[in-house]
Amino acid sequence: MSGLDALRFDNRFVDELPGDPEQGFRRREVRGALWSAVEPTPVAAPTLLAHSREVASLLGLDDADVASPAFANVFGGNALLSGMRPYAGNYGGHQFGNWAGQLGDGRAITLGEVVNAAGERLELQLKGAGPTPYSRTADGRAVLRSSIREFLCSEAMHHLGVPTTRALSLVGTGEAVVRDMFYDGHPNPEPGAVVCRVAPSFLRFGHYQLPASRGETDLLHTLVDFTIRRDFPHLSGEGEALYAAWFAEICERTAVMVAHWMRVGFVHGVMNTDNMSVLGLTIDYGPYGWIDNYDPDWTPNTTDAQGRRYRFGWQPRVAWWNLSRFAQALSPLFDGVEALQAGLQRFADVYARVDRETIAAKLGLADCRDDDVVRMETLQALLHQGEMDMTLFFRALMDADPADPADASLSAFDGVFYDPAKREDAMPGLRDWFDGYAARLAEEAQDPATRRERMRLANPRYVLRNYLAQQAIDAAEAGDLSGVHELLDVIRRPYDDQPGRERFAQKRPDWARQRAGCSMLSCSS
């Protein structure tokens, strides 16, 4: 029996929760139900372009299973395995601060919930598999470029230690998808693709917000009880106390996730409440980006260029705002507001704690004192004004030895600047900062090797720089997938020096500064 046939499905979401009586993808409002049965629409020529062997092995699939024609057929949307019960989920959300009503899985179709050999539950969800009742005016498809971006980035985040959904496979459809990349009246046919993403659950804040917004309180109750039973079985108690513990845990997980984003320089780009996972996983990789030159005001998302609501530096406060909207949706489950307020306070407390741990780890300190918080803020202001590369700076800091006169001359930081004039301006400030840092290190008994190792594990050498992903995409669109495969391999060990792969750990080149895909992305994908 092949590994595919051995997959064991246990589709609790559709087995236990109310679904839409209508089948098929006629676009519609769906009330009183949490999902609609809908099958993927077959594509012309499903071809496996890349896969994650780690995710395949989580599912008990080996190389032969992945290479089989059945694999590309199933994960391109042309065939179902026995036990699969495909559906699209029904949810709403706040988009860019405004309540948007019903959204739902417009181009995502869950195939089923697998329980693997270790007893872990893994939902398999195709993205770009064709229309669903929630596709509204769109086609339910995804282009190759954005599918490569989701595939690579979710795996990169996992290897960086950031909570995230995973990606099993990237399948080319052999069909074109028409997109107007910048909504400027220039639609183009582009190659299409389907990603199979994998997570214990893809439940979002918006899943709870939608029934709450419609006054469907029983449905809300049912969904919350189900979520706790299936995804939070470790929580005990009952009634309001149980709900309070559940909400607080979501707040805590969200805080941890966002603190990781800030640590590695990840900008989600579309933190709408429909893109916030109740498991605290990074979800829905669209116009995300990575910080090159440190800039808290940067967002890669051109759709958000005006208000830059989802800029890098605002992510913690946006997460809090999103949790507040989520709390509001849950309020019918509570008598007063205290428990929900306590959950939101948990977010603030946990974020502050993890942020301090991050400061200590990024700077290689045994612990974070109040003056270290200020030290980090001062450094961030310098990185910003001096246009220094965030990732390169912290690795240079790790390699620098303040006791060594050569490093104390700051030459260790030569390679982190983008602009020679800004470098000149920043030098005196950096000099002061580095002296203060050296003095601070001297107050600690930590040996240099321990400090270095602590910093290595908090400061990646390799991140999925926007231009690197774009280069792999350009080649893939011309039929050469080797760049995708090589990047996938590089991001497997982001904290290690990988000799021969220095070109993946360089500053963004000048040509990439203002190029589409490298620094500017839209929601259209």
Contacts of 385 (CB under 8 A, 6+ apart): 422, 425, 426, 429
Q: Among Mg ion, ligand AMP, none, what does residue 313 contact (CB within 5–8 Å per kind)?
A: none
Kindly tell me which of 74 and 250 has the beta carbon lying closer to Mg ion: 250
Instruction: Name the token pair of 405.
Output: 């006169």
Could you say whether residue 403 binds ligand AMP (CB under 6 A)? no
In the complex, least distance from residue 140 CB atom to ligand AMP, rounded to whole angstroms:
4
Catalytic residue among 20, 274, 389, 407: 274
Could you say whether residue 277 binds ligand AMP (CB under 6 A)? no
149: number of Cβ within 10 Å:
27
Residue type at 381 in one-letter notation? A
Could you say whether residue 275 binds ligand AMP (CB under 6 A)? yes
In terms of Cα–Cα distance, which of 205, 204, 30, 16 is closest to 132? Answer: 30
250: number of Cβ within 10 Å:
24
Instruction: Name the token pair of 174.
Output: 């052999």
Q: Among Mg ion, ligand AMP, none, what does residue 216 contact (CB within 5–8 Å per kind)?
A: none
For β-strands 142-143 and 121-127, DSSP reports them as unpaired
Kindly tell me which of 68 and 95 has the beta carbon lying closer to ligand AMP: 95
Contacts of 428 (CB under 8 A, 6+ apart): none
> What are residue 448's DSSP bridge partners?
none
Q: Among ligand AMP, Mg ion, none, what does residue 138 contact (CB within 5–8 Å per kind)?
A: ligand AMP
Given 51, 107, 145, 465, the residue binding ligand AMP (CB under 6 A): 107
Q: How far apart are CA 283 and CA 281, in angstroms?
A: 6
Q: Does the annotation count 274 as an active-site position?
A: yes
Q: Among Mg ion, ligand AMP, none, what does residue 20 contact (CB within 5–8 Å per kind)?
A: none
> What are residue 122's DSSP bridge partners?
114
Could you say whether residue 105 binds Mg ion (CB under 5 A)? no
Q: How far apart are CA 467 and CA 473, in angstroms?
A: 10
173: number of Cβ within 10 Å:
28
Kindly tell me which of 109 and 333 has the beta carbon lying closer to ligand AMP: 109
Residue type at 446 in one-letter notation? Q
Residues 134, 119 contacting (CB under 8 angstroms): no
- The contact mask relative to ligand AMP for 455-484 (x = CB under 6 A, - = no) is ------------------------------
CA angle, 194 then 104 then 140, to 5°: 35
Q: Which of residues 128-167 bind ligand AMP (CB under 6 A)?
A: 134-135, 138-141
Could you say whether residue 242 binds ligand AMP (CB under 6 A)? no
- The contact mask relative to Mg ion for 271-310 (x = CB under 5 A, - = no) is ----x--------x--------------------------
Could you say whether residue 207 binds ligand AMP (CB under 6 A)? no
User: Active-site residue numbers?
Assistant: 274
Binding-site ranges for Mg ion (CB under 5 A):
275, 284
Binding-site ranges for ligand AMP (CB under 6 A):
103-107, 134-135, 138-141, 270, 274-275, 284, 286, 523
